[in-house]
Amino acid sequence: MIRRLAPGLRMMAALMRPGVAPAPRCVWALVALGPVAVVLAGFVPALWIAAPLLGLLLLALVLVDGALAGRLEEADVIAPAQAEIGQSAVITIRARLSRPARMEAALALDPRLAPGGKLSATLTGEEAQAPFTPSRRCHGAINTLWLRWRGPLGLAMRIERHEVDASVRVLPSVAALRGPAMQTYLRDASLGLIARRLRGEGQMFETLTEYQPGMDRRRIDWKVSARHAHLYAKEYEVERNNPIVLAMDCGAAMCEPVAGLPRLDRAVSAALQMAWVALKAGDRVSLFGFAARVIVSTPFVADTRDFHALRSAAADLDYTAREANFTLALSTLAQQLARRSLIVVFSEFADPTSAELMIESIGRLIARHRVLFVCLRDEELETLAGGEVVDMEALGGSVAASALLRQREWVLMRLRAMGVDVVEAAHDAVGARLIDAYMAIRSRGGIG
């Protein structure tokens, strides 16, 4: 009997296109035939052939079901050209079959775009949306689309592979710039959309005005006051066109994760927030990235329309496993600057040796430039230091964390004593703190 059925089964298999596999329902049915065969062989030995025949019949139904499942007529993957790190984006999958069926899709892509390098979705009609959240800045490739659907009997599955030639460029996140808090700040601050002369505590003389009680007496122009027999005070205009350099440390310490994203990406997002505000205020901004060598050094941009150039350059700041060479990087930066500038250094230090080298390099910049040092609070160390001590291991961890925090505070105190402005904040507040520090320095005329 089996020999008689075999040629027919081979002919059916030859007529089938590749990519047919048994569905779970078929597998469970084959498993259930095992006990049936044992029972029949025990009680009615003459019927032992029934179970193998049922198995062959089931396999024949699988082939028929696979043939009736329909063929894939069209498949396409539509990926966004750009996405932001840490922000959700969507890949659209479209596919059409010769007969309607419920399809499941899986995408093989860069692991930096999705955990494990895989995305899954179920098509509703002929389309599915596959959301993903990039965890690294990169040019993430989307390589393969797998589609799977069942036949009308539910015994067979058709599997099709479709090669995809698409990629997503993951840029630094500027979601904070689109937030209501930043928009309110830009509307209410002195750097609004209308160009006007800004009076403040700068160094550019603007005009003379009558002295009013409460005004700084050092602003009184005694010569003019004597000539007019009335007190007059000077008013100054806040400087514009100040050069600002965003110096990004891309060394190993900046690759450590903070709330799921590397420190470097948290720092880049804060730097871009400040860059946007600085450009709106009329200053010029440049990006300088370094690790063991200089990675990125952009020319100064002075218009918000050129902000995309800074963001694109920031996307090219690569993650490195080597320590940053502060001596080489900051000396190179100093040679490039012909005018006193505000240098904003984003960095992290892990040991006293690297901190000492960083302090020495920053110290050489202070003679000619204004330096603002930015670092993220080490929330992990703070948690360990302030955690509940339940055993000796926890006690040892708490003592070590407290020692590292004291060492960290000592480094920041040394920087402040040298005249460096220091911003240390949590990852979700560092952007706002940095902008406040920049505006305070700028309003005092501390850049030019």
- 158, β-bridge pairs: 20, 149
pLDDT at 56: 75
Residue 169 pLDDT grade (very low, low, confident, very high; cuts 50, 70, 90) = very high
Residue 73 has pLDDT above 70, yes or no: yes
Residues 42, 104: Cα–Cα separation, whole Å:
43
Select the more confidently predicted residue: 16 or 270. 270
pLDDT at 270: 94
Same domain for 379 and 436, yes or no, is: yes
Q: List, in sequence order, the alpha helices (H) in 257-305.
A: 263-280
Same domain for 221 and 352, yes or no, is: no
Work out the average pLDDT over 196-224. Answer: 61
Same domain for 299 and 386, yes or no, is: yes
Tell whether 372 is covered by a domain. yes
Per-residue pLDDT tens for 294-352? Answer: 999 999 999 889 999 999 999 999 888 888 999 999 999 999 998 899 999 999 987 77
pLDDT at 9: 45
What residues have CB less than 8 Å from 251, skipping those under 6 apart? Answer: 291, 292, 320, 322, 323, 324, 347, 348
Residues of the chain with pLDDT > 70, as a percent, come to 77
Per-residue pLDDT tens for 226-249? Answer: 777 777 776 665 667 899 999 999
Per-residue pLDDT tens for 370-424? Answer: 999 999 988 777 777 776 766 777 677 777 778 888 888 999 999 999 999 999 9
Same domain for 15 and 89, yes or no, is: no
pLDDT at 233: 74
Same domain for 48 and 167, yes or no, is: no
Residues 179, 183: Cα–Cα separation, whole Å:
6
Pick from 436, 114, 375, 377: nearest CA to 259: 377
Same domain for 408 and 310, yes or no, is: yes
Phi/psi at 367 (nearest 5 deg)?
-60, -30
Same domain for 297 and 310, yes or no, is: yes
Same domain for 186 and 161, yes or no, is: no
Same domain for 28 and 6, yes or no, is: yes
Q: What is the CATH number of the domain that holds 149?
A: 2.60.40.10
pLDDT at 51: 63
Tell whether 111 is covered by a domain. yes
Residue 193 has pLDDT above 60, yes or no: no
Same domain for 17 and 49, yes or no, is: yes
Residue 197 pLDDT grade (very low, low, confident, very high; cuts 50, 70, 90) = very low
Work out the average pLDDT over 120-127. Answer: 88
Residue 63 pLDDT grade (very low, low, confident, very high; cuts 50, 70, 90) = confident
Work out the average pLDDT over 206-231. Answer: 70
Q: Rg of the chain's alpha carbons, rounded to an integer?
A: 34
Residue 118 has pLDDT above 90, yes or no: yes
pLDDT at 30: 66
Same domain for 181 and 123, yes or no, is: no
Residue 46 has pLDDT above 80, yes or no: no
Residue 285 pLDDT grade (very low, low, confident, very high; cuts 50, 70, 90) = very high
Q: What is the CATH number of the domain that holds 320?
A: 3.40.50.410
pLDDT at 210: 74
Residue 366, both tokens: 């202070």
pLDDT at 389: 66
The chain-wide mean pLDDT, for the chain, equals: 82
Tell whether 198 is covered by a domain. no
Select the more confidently predicted residue: 443 or 1. 443
> Among the three residues 46, 68, 90, which one is the final residue of a domain in this structure?
68
pLDDT at 153: 77
What residues have CB less than 8 Å from 5, skipping those under 6 apart? Answer: 56, 60
Same domain for 95 and 180, yes or no, is: no
Contact (Cβ atoms closer than 8 angstroms) between residue 224 and residue 232: yes
Tell whether 344 is covered by a domain. yes
Q: Which domain holds residue 331?
A: 175-193+239-443
Number of domains in the chain: 4
Contact (Cβ atoms closer than 8 angstroms) between residue 371 and residue 361: no
Residue 32 has pLDDT above 90, yes or no: no
Pick from 438, 447, 446, 445: nearest CA to 189: 438
pLDDT at 67: 73
Residues 93, 139: Cα–Cα separation, whole Å:
20
What residues have CB less than 8 Å from 6, skipping those under 6 apart? Answer: none
Residues 347, 374: Cα–Cα separation, whole Å:
7
